[in-house]
Amino acid sequence: MPYKLYVDSRFRVQAGGSNSDAEFSVELPHPIRVKGKAFVDCFVCSNSFFTIRTGENDRIHLGEGQTAASSLTYRICTIAHGQYDAVTLQNAVTVALNAGKTITAAYVVDYDKITGRMRIGLTGTGNEAFIIFPAKLLKGLPDTWNAFIDPVTQPQLVINANNLMDSGQVTGFDGPQIYVGDALQDTMAWESINVQPYGQLFLRSSLGSGYDAIGPDGSGDIIRRVLCTVPLNDTIVDMHALPHDAVTVHDMEIASLSFRLTDVYGWTVNTHGHAVSFSIIFLEE
């Protein structure tokens, strides 16, 4: 017989490790024996995620000096975490760049509504300049940055190519080259800004152990892909369960299950106190 299991993160149990709406465990009132296929049906959660997330995508890697070719002072600017639109993101980047700057001129940030791209320049007419280093360059050649940093006096600036925490995918300052600007010439972002936190999420579970679905990161515990197609603070209702969108469940008795909601990189997301709910249909073949 088919079993239908309705899951809501508000009914989670403390099972050791993380205990949040995005990483939780549930206990069944009594064990059930299942085999065949498990379908995750009608996933619901709030798009309450942050555009800029601390320790994940809040950094701008910056060099400052008298000219772009001179000896530069390197620093990492941090954008405040939170939800943003184009205007508020522009303001937050302005604050981040001007906080702790080592040059006299102030940073000016504009948003081009036609292209959707951000532009950064300096006030005044002096010869001061800045360079923004994009994640793609730093990831491929981290020594480009680390070679200029004294690990003794500035150990917090030595970057990890596997976890740059760069904001380029949000601000648009991504791409293959550095960005140079001064008081006479602004620098324009390579891409348009993207204030939508996620385009897709992945629900992972102890059910997904058979590699029926392989994630972008090579993982095999994904049981459902979730599309984020609504604006910030609206409700994500994903009902796209398809006949082959299932995972294999071998003959087993289930008393409890664990779940984790992640981004494309496998990072557990933060729902900021909003519940996650979905149903699972166990269908014997």
In sequence order, the 6+-apart residues with CB closer than 8 A to the CB of 114 are none
DSSP code for 266: S
User: Using CB atoms within 10 A of its CB, is residue 170 exposed (0-12), middle (13-18) or buried (19+)?
Assistant: buried
Sheet holding 107-112, edge to edge: 107-112, 117-122, 187-188
Radius of gyration (C-alpha) of the chain in whole angstroms: 23
pLDDT attached to residue 280: 93
pTM to 2 decimals? 0.89
| Residue 285 token pair | 């073949």
**Could you give phi then psi for residue 92, rounded to 5 degrees?**
-65, -40
| Residue 267 token pair | 């990072």
Strand segments, DSSP code E, in the chain are 3-8, 23-46, 59-65, 73-78, 107-112, 117-122, 129-133, 179-182, 187-188, 200-205, 222-227, 235-238, 247-262, 276-283
Q: Chain centroid to CA 261: how far? A: 12
pLDDT digit of tens for each residue in the chain (285 aa)?
Answer: 668 999 999 999 987 667 899 999 999 999 988 888 889 989 999 999 999 999 999 999 999 998 766 678 889 999 999 999 999 999 999 999 999 999 999 999 999 999 999 999 999 878 899 999 999 888 877 776 777 777 777 888 888 888 899 999 999 999 888 999 999 999 999 999 999 999 999 999 988 766 678 888 888 899 999 999 999 999 999 886 677 788 888 888 889 999 999 999 899 999 999 999 999 998 887
Total residue count of the chain as it appears in this document: 285
pLDDT attached to residue 16: 66
Q: Where are the domains of the chain?
A: 3-49+197-283, 59-188
d(CA 22, CA 268): 7
- The CATH number given to 3-49+197-283 is 2.60.120.1100
SS3 64: strand
In this structure, which amino acid lies at residue 177?
A: Q
**Could you give phi then psi for residue 137, rounded to 5 degrees?**
-75, -45
d(CA 131, CA 239): 45
Residue from 59, 50, 262 nearest 168 by CA: 59
To which H or E segment does residue 140 belong?
helix 135-140
